[in-house]
Amino acid sequence: MKKTAFLNLTRHSNRLLEETSAAVRRVLERGHFILGEEVAAFETEWARYCGARGAVGVANGTDAITLALTASGAVAPGRGDEVLTTPLTAGYTALGILNAGARPVFVDVDERSLNLDPEKIEAAITPRTRAVLPVHLYGQPAAMEKINEIAARRDLTVIEDAAQAHGARCGGKACGAASLAATYSFYPTKNLGAFGDGGAIVANDADFLERARILRQGGHREAFEAEVAGRNSRLDELQAAILRVKLQKLDAWTARRRELAAIYFEKLKNLPRLTLPANDPEAVFHLFVVRHPERDRLRDFLAARGVETLVHYPYLLHEQKLFRGAGQKSLPVAEKAVGEILSLPLYPELEDEEIETVCAAIAEFEG
Ligand SMILES: Cc1ncc(COP(=O)(O)O)c(C=O)c1O
């Protein structure tokens, strides 16, 4: 039986072998591995791509969240500061908040987008709430206009976790354009992924960017002179050189993701028990997540036909011991969704005939 993999990174890296090898070679020949010209050039190119004043390359997307929160000054350890976020995201979102010394407080998601529901934010605000951290989950833009409006009125900082949303837009604006910052992960499976770990903070405020730059380098403005308690969290030259090669292809990859999503939308539209994701023209389809009341049976059926699927995410964060705070309310929309969501294969190198196989298997399941 022919297998349809959820993701095939070998296919991806093999197609890039020559260009990325040349980039790696360039770095080795130069012999400068940390905070050199590749990182500086990538930061400029990534900021330009995001339509922002600047970018700060860091070690990963989790640190990007932590350092952005710290650089914002909104949260500090030991004060009981709270940050509102979604329960349906990678645990790293909440870990990034914890690492900044704050406490994540989870707000329910919107039924349609599965992103933070702006209508539920105000009820979760307490005197300790300092920031809101929406996630553009699956590459679907969160409701930034409403979130920013509430945050401005209630004097809260907004930082967007755009780890799954490279190139997505929110109401015509780039992620982070109307809030303090957007944070990115370049984990290898992301829409723009390194061949290792990487992350970035993107923003328009020059002072904030400068603070983030100091924090990512142990808190040093000048070498060896510690100013604040930062982290050691740097994007390295090899990853930056690889990301520069890959950035040139991101628009074409996003176009292919949208093309594949359009095939799913067309082929799966008449299956009444299957709920398709929001067909938002600004989404970048990091993942294509459907809902089905018999998710586990559907998943087993597809596996038996060689189609690999995943669940993003099988556990909600507000139900996990590490993150659950006293007084955390139940979140019914997320709690229903978590048993129904299923991520189908979607990545730029997925072939047309493979997506046809996935669609045919789902149609067969639905009889
Ligand atoms: C939504 C989200 N936030 C944060 C992260 C953390 O990124 P990283 O793995 O680069 O630390 C990830 C990826 O793992 C993610 O998907």
169 - beta bridge partners?
174
What are 265-281's pLDDT values in tens digits? 999 999 999 999 999 99
> Which residues does 227 contact at the CB level (< 8 Å), separation at least 6?
214, 219, 220, 221
346 CA → ligand 1 middle, Å: 18
Distance CA 17, CA 155 (A): 48
Q: What's the pLDDT score for residue 229?
A: 83
80/328: higher pLDDT: 80
226 phi and psi angles, rounded to 5 deg = -75, 130
Looking at CATH, the fold of the domain delimited by 250-365 is given as: Aspartate Aminotransferase, domain 1 (3.90.1150)
CB 208 within 8 A of CB 71: yes
293 CA → ligand 1 middle, Å: 28
Confidence of residue 164 (pLDDT cuts 50, 70, 90): very high
Domain ranges for the chain, please list them. Answer: 9-247, 250-365
The CATH architecture one would assign to domain 9-247 is: 3-Layer(aba) Sandwich (3.40)
CB 89 within 8 A of CB 313: yes
Ligand 1 pocket test target in 63, 66, 92, 140 with most atoms within 8 Å of CB: 92
Kindly state if the Cβ of 187 falls inside 6 Å of ligand 1. yes
DSSP E strands, the chain = 54-58, 82-85, 103-106, 129-133, 157-161, 169-170, 173-174, 181-185, 199-203, 288-291, 341-344
335 CA → ligand 1 middle, Å: 21
Q: Which two tokens stand for residue 285?
A: 């389809």
Closest residue by Cα to residue 309 from 343, 282, 271: 343
What's the whole-model pTM score?
0.97
What are 320-356's pLDDT values in tens digits? 999 988 888 899 999 999 999 999 999 999 999 999 9
Ligand 1 pocket test target in 133, 187, 289, 343 with most atoms within 8 Å of CB: 187
